[in-house]
Structure 1
Amino acid sequence: MDIDILYKDDYLLVVDKPEGLPIHMTQGMPHDADYLTKIIGKQLNCSVYNVHRLDAKTSGIVLLALSPEIAHELTLLFEQKKITKTYHAIVRENPGSGTFDNKVKNQGKRGSKNAVTHYKTLQTISTSICYKEFENISLSLVEVTPETGRWHQIRQHFAQGRFDIIGDNNHGDRMLNKIIAEKTGISRLLLHASSLQFEHPITKEVRTYTSELPVSFNQLLHSGLI
């Protein structure tokens, strides 16, 4: 497997991560499992360093460093909220536009942390899906800009509002996910990191990189299968 590299220089690189691939080795993974930094390291024959989170189930843009020093600089930019991340998701019903400013759970820990997620609805389609007390539910394409970077923040926030992200079986609506998968064959998490803007730590240029929506997004929105 080769990863699509959107940009590379002597200090960092920006890649387009496929859905289902972890960024780094995590507890419980087989020792020979594939993950992004391992694959990129072999592809480029060098060491690469992760500087921010992106769930294995989420596709899209990932920023990586080529040295521990640059990794530190980029990590500080994320911590100081000087890097803008934009996502797109397909969610249940129409959330409109607004901001989630609710606490979210920590991964594997007690308690919760403050989290802020801005969003706006770009497109809404009607479906013939009916289940439980719900009839002809709608699906919406939303643009999402997280202000903080908590564990599964976007997924948790939309689930809290009952605008579950399609394909999210951890926090979302499993029954709806099953129905959509049976009708369309789409079973992935429909969350995509579509844009990343940051100031290069060496050149000081402001750079923006984008990734097109995966085929499955357009298939669900335009196929007419539901």
Structure 2
Amino acid sequence: MKESFNIPIIFQDEQLIAVEKPVDLPVHKNDFMPHDAPYLTKLLGEITQKWVYNVHRLDSKTSGVIVLAFSSEMAKELTLQFERKEVQKTYFAIVQGNPGEGKFESKVLVKKKSKFKKPAVTNFKTLQTVQTDISYKEKENVQLSLVEIQPETGRWHQIRQHFTQNHFDILGDTHHGDFTLNKIITEKTGVKRLFLHAGQLKIKHPALEEELTFSSDLPKEFQQVLRHFQT
């Protein structure tokens, strides 16, 4: 049985569409997927009955706001905004520890199984921290923090790499994160996902020349985990 995805539409006109991408849904097709696997551009094409063009990246495991275009010309215009760093992106994550507020500026890998690194900048601010009863290895009563993140660059897994490099692993990160903690969190809360969510995106509409802000609420799983350890 195929998995079905609910894709809430935030904004739509003749030129572009902004939606809330569900967790675990790829944006576009890749060579490793079954031929009939669902992906965002395909599903939105079926919903809108239009050709849908990808504009920017959002990992399969990351949920939240993404904008797509209905023409190659509009896609090019929007992509240029991302390349020129004219777009403001805000993410939310639950991480191990309490990173406080600041900026990560270390280089990150450009892709999987690569040794080549490029400069990257990630701004962050801790919004809430909860104390848990989780202790393992040399760690005792691990803290978990809800963090607001604004990346200035858009490298591969940039946010995930930066937080892991600085020992503030994002919960549920099965590629870079703390596998033992991930397992414990799932056992205690019943939630299994990457705790990284694209919460807001600010762009300029190329045709209307208006500033647009698209927002997506924090997923219920985030609140579920934080509440579990507040009691």
TM-score by length of 1: 0.98
What is the count of residue pairs matched by the alignment? 226
Aligned amino acid, residue 112 of structure 1? K
Counterparts of residues 69-88 of structure 1 (less than 5 Å): 69-88=73-92
Contact 1:2 1:43 in 2 (8 A): no
Match of 2:20 in 1: 16
Gaps of 5+ in 2: none
Contact 1:70 1:201 in 2 (8 A): yes
Counterparts of residues 1-226 of structure 1 (less than 5 Å): 1-108=5-112, 109-224=114-229
* 2:176 match: secondary structure: coil
**Pair 1:185–1:222, CA change in 2 (3 A):** same
Once residues 229 and 107 of structure 2 are traced to their aligned partners in structure 1, the CA distance between those partners, rounded to angstroms, is 37
Once residues 230 and 122 of structure 2 are traced to their aligned partners in structure 1, the CA distance between those partners, rounded to angstroms, is 31
Once residues 50 and 187 of structure 1 are traced to their aligned partners in structure 2, the CA distance between those partners, rounded to angstroms, is 27
Contact 2:199 2:216 in 1 (8 A): yes
Aligned amino acid, residue 154 of structure 1? I
Contact 1:184 1:225 in 2 (8 A): no
How many Å apart are 1:110 and its aligned residue? 3.2
Contact 2:130 2:229 in 1 (8 A): no
Once residues 119 and 31 of structure 2 are traced to their aligned partners in structure 1, the CA distance between those partners, rounded to angstroms, is 26
Once residues 9 and 97 of structure 1 are traced to their aligned partners in structure 2, the CA distance between those partners, rounded to angstroms, is 37
How many Å apart are 1:222 and its aligned residue? 1.1
Contact 2:130 2:230 in 1 (8 A): no
User: Residues 18-66 of structure 1: CA distance to partner in whole angstroms, max 9, x if unpaired?
Assistant: 0000000112111111000000000111100011010000000000000
CA-atom RMSD in angstroms: 1.1
* 2:137 match: secondary structure: coil
* 2:167 match: secondary structure: coil
How many Å apart are 1:2 and its aligned residue? 4.1
Once residues 28 and 117 of structure 2 are traced to their aligned partners in structure 1, the CA distance between those partners, rounded to angstroms, is 24
* 2:57 match: secondary structure: coil
* 1:207 match: secondary structure: strand
